[in-house]
Structure 1
Amino acid sequence: MTVERDIQARRHQQDRAASVIQKAVRRFLLSRRQQKVNSSATRIQALWRGYASRKKNDRTEIKAIRQSLRAVSRNVEEENKLYRRTERALHHLLTYKHLSAILEAMKHLEVVTRLSPLCCENMAESGAVSTVFVVIRSCNRSVPCMEVVGCAVQVLLNVAKYDKTISAVYDAENCVDTLLELLQAYREKPGDRVAEKSASIFTRTCCLLAVLLKTEQCAFDAQSRSKVIDRIYRLYKFTVPKHKVNTQGLFDRQKQNSCIGFPFIPESSIKTRIVSRLKPQWVLRRDNMEEITNSLQAIQLVMDTLGIPYC
């Protein structure tokens, strides 16, 4: 009797184990079938939305624009293609030492990194990012050098906006220190004859620094260095009164214009921007934020990214 009971108990356990395995297999197959159905439905919906959008917007003007773009693409010269411009610009940047050739190379790199993710990857793999930082550190505050620095910072910003190449910028030697030195050197000063160029470099550098520090690891690394936080806070304290002076001057000019018939337009309040909305231009999204042109908003973007309080 005992042997029969043991055999029955084993059979019962085997039946339960088989039932559990069958149930798990059926659940897995059902889940995979459901995923396949969902994927197929998503694909059908995407195809239908594309067809409906093209049918709705495929007007005569759009057809003409599409045909003209295709004609331009067929007739474009080989040397003007983006990958050729990238190769030529990188060659000039890595070999030439004349400022005019470097500026021309920077302009080409700014175009190709703004328009093509593949060109950003090629630039990151070539090691040209470190060369760009070397060029920045070797420039002074002369007008030609400021043009080079402005293009160089924009190139780095284009590369940093792309998730696959942001590490190439952050991992460059003395990256954060170089950018902080740029902010210190090109902050807008009273009576500066090239204040517009300085402000442009300042805001671009702030955007670049914020993009680089948006990840938790990079932000923690910067927050652990007290000098970085102190320098950013001092830059903010310097920018606030300068912004007030500019705002008051704009207020006075608009007030004078309102007396002679021009309406007064008050300046909009400062609104904190979200660094995650700074995307490459080839990413066509409605929430893709334009780059900031206001110095105070730019430095606030850096502070918000690092969680630095304003007071």
Structure 2
Amino acid sequence: MHKAAAIIQANFRRHKQQTDYKRRCWAVTVIQQRFRAQKCKELQEKRYQDVRRAVIVLQAAYRGIKSRRMIGKRREAASVIQSAFRVHQEISSHFRSQSDEEQILADEEGCRHSSEMLPSLEGKTTGPGGSPGRAETPFYGCGFPSPQAIKIQRALRAHWALESAKRQIQSVVTIQRWVRARLQRRRYLEDRRKVVMVQRVVRRWLARRHKAAAVIQEVTRKFLLDRRQKRAQRGIVKAQALWRGHRSRMLSDKPKLVKLRLRLRKISAEVREEDKLCNKTSSALEYLLRYKHFSFILEALKNLEAATRLSPECCERLVGSDATGVIFTLIRSCNRSGPCMEVITFSVQILLNLSKYHLTIEAVYSVENSLETLLDLLQKYREKAGDKVAEKGGSIFTKACFLLALLLQDERRAQEVVKLPKVLDRIRSIYRLTARKHKMDEERSITRQRINASINGSFFVPPTPRKSKPPPKFVPDWVLRKDKLKDVVDPLRAIQMVAETLAIVL
């Protein structure tokens, strides 16, 4: 009780420590996840700010370039307008100077004409009655304007022309400014739309990348946590196994077991290369495929039976070398003699070992006339009453039935066999003979037991009949499990298994 209490306390403390450790691991994982998420957020925000500043710098540089280009274009336009206006002024002044010269010449001609007419007019300045009158002032008619009026008109027309040119230049500049502003606004909106689209795509890509990184980190952390847990669990299981083995050896270590362990170590140290199972398999295959001497073939079959019973790699190597066809040919070439029956026994056992392995059972079934060969074995070695070779051929019969049942557990193969002619009739006939032989053996055994009971004076209890069981699932002999089923050795049970596999009504 003290020892049990100590074990319970130790398990409880271990459970408590494991729970506390798992809780701490979970807390540390959550803190690390939050910290990594914060660091990732800061990094992404910093990258976004860097990208934003770079975009702003690019936009400012682009707008400066566009503004400088527009200012240069405006300067060129103003220079063109100014040069055109100056040319227009020069042409106007030239024509105006010509008209002024013509006007001056006309005025001089008028003045000259007036001066010629003055003496004639002076004689007519006397008043009424012949008295001398006052002298009249010079008179400028419509065709002879005064020079001051001409100057004033000239200055006024120049002022009007300059004001009109200024108004036209201002209108042209205003129209150009408005058109350029509209174009610049349109280009700016287009560039802004493109930049916004690029920013949206970049933000979406960054969000998708961040989400993918988060998912990858989560899956990676889960994988690493599972791997650590599995590694820790394997370590714990290994430590427990080592401790249990050590404790079992300490509790049940007897002199016989010590000697047996020492002998095993000695044999393992003295093992030769040709004694290995793979090398024995290779040599046995070589003997089976090359030699025709009966002793060599029998020794090769023994080695192959041990190899296929103990190693799946040897089964695959045997199937890969196409030895199954040779084995079936060897079975068909044997007769009912004792050595041939021994060869058939080992051959059927090899095929049975291959049929228990799911990777090689198809190779056994796919050999040409394999099912016919097995049915011939059942027909040839069925147990008859009073048969001389019944004891020797009994194992061949049960092994062949067992092999046939394993091959026909697949529905596709069973349907193919049912379609063959006279297969069901042959199996029913073999079953009837086996059942009659089994019944006669039971009656003979009961009669013998009754005679022995009457001689000994004891009471005889007849045995209860056994119920038939469904065909079980068998595994290869290298699978060491406690629930592994043994091979069928009862002839009646073996033929019943074949009939149940094919769903034959007996």
Same fold? TM cut 0.5:
yes
CA contact (8 A) 1:115 1:282 kept: yes
CA contact (8 A) 1:258 1:264 kept: no
Moved more, 21-30 or 214-223: 21-30
1:228–1:54 CA distance, 2 compared to 1 (3 A): farther
One-letter amino acid of the structure 1 residue matched with residue 248 of structure 2? N
Mapping for residues 271-282 of structure 1, pairs under 5 Å: 271-272=468-469, 274-277=471-474, 279-282=475-478
Alignment equivalent of 2:234, drawn from 18, 23, 43:
43
1:239–1:64 CA distance, 2 compared to 1 (3 A): same
Aligned to 2:498: 302
- Match of 1:158, SS? helix
Aligned to 2:482: 286
1:111–1:189 CA distance, 2 compared to 1 (3 A): same
Aligned to 2:326: 131
CA contact (8 A) 2:284 2:300 kept: yes
| Same amino acid, percent of matched pairs | 41
1:161–1:53 CA distance, 2 compared to 1 (3 A): farther
Deviations 1:72-98 (A, max 9, x none): 122134333322322222222112223
- Match of 2:473, SS? helix
Aligned to 1:200: 395
Q: 2:232 & 2:370 partners in 1: Cα distance?
A: 46
CA contact (8 A) 2:351 2:364 kept: yes
Moved more, 111-120 or 221-230: 221-230
- Match of 2:283, SS? helix
Aligned to 1:57: 248
1:144 to 2:339 alignment: yes
Mapping for residues 181-192 of structure 1, pairs under 5 Å: 181-192=376-387
Q: 1:51 & 1:273 partners in 2: Cα distance?
A: 41
Aligned to 2:273: 78
Aligned to 1:10: none
One-letter amino acid of the structure 2 residue matched with residue 249 of structure 1? R
CA contact (8 A) 1:213 1:219 kept: yes
1:37 Cα shift? 6.6
- Match of 2:368, SS? coil
Aligned to 2:438: 243
CA contact (8 A) 1:89 1:109 kept: yes
1:210 to 2:405 alignment: yes
Aligned to 1:3: none
**CA RMSD after TM alignment:** 3.3
Deviations 1:90-114 (A, max 9, x none): 2221122233332222222222222
CA contact (8 A) 1:89 1:106 kept: yes
Q: Structure with the greater relative contact order (CA < 8 A, sep ≥ 6): 1 or 2?
A: 1
TM-score normalised over the length of structure 1: 0.81
CA contact (8 A) 1:92 1:102 kept: yes
One-letter amino acid of the structure 1 residue matched with residue 438 of structure 2? H
CA contact (8 A) 1:272 1:300 kept: no
Q: 2:501 & 2:397 partners in 1: Cα distance?
A: 17
- Match of 1:260, SS? helix
One-letter amino acid of the structure 1 residue matched with residue 413 of structure 2? C
Q: 2:341 & 2:432 partners in 1: Cα distance?
A: 24
Mapping for residues 254-265 of structure 1, pairs under 5 Å: 254-261=449-456
1:274 Cα shift? 3.6
1:194 Cα shift? 1.1
1:228 Cα shift? 3.3
Deviations 1:129-182 (A, max 9, x none): 110000001111222211111111011111221222222211211111111111
The count of residues paired between Structure 1 and Structure 2 equals 304
1:52 Cα shift? 4.6
CA contact (8 A) 2:398 2:494 kept: yes
Larger radius of gyration: 2
CA contact (8 A) 2:331 2:347 kept: yes
Q: 1:52 & 1:88 partners in 2: Cα distance?
A: 41
One-letter amino acid of the structure 2 residue matched with residue 247 of structure 1? E
One-letter amino acid of the structure 2 residue matched with residue 114 of structure 1? R
TM-score normalised over the length of structure 2: 0.52
Alignment equivalent of 2:368, drawn from 159, 164, 173:
173
Mapping for residues 15-26 of structure 1, pairs under 5 Å: none
Deviations 1:186-223 (A, max 9, x none): 11112211101221100001111122222343334334
- Match of 1:109, SS? helix
One-letter amino acid of the structure 2 residue matched with residue 86 of structure 1? T
Moved more, 153-162 or 69-78: 69-78
One-letter amino acid of the structure 1 residue matched with residue 453 of structure 2? S
1:42–1:301 CA distance, 2 compared to 1 (3 A): farther
Q: 2:402 & 2:220 partners in 1: Cα distance?
A: 48
Q: Which runs of 5+ in 1 are unaligned?
A: 1-6, 8-12
1:31–1:290 CA distance, 2 compared to 1 (3 A): same
Q: 1:268 & 1:123 partners in 2: Cα distance?
A: 42
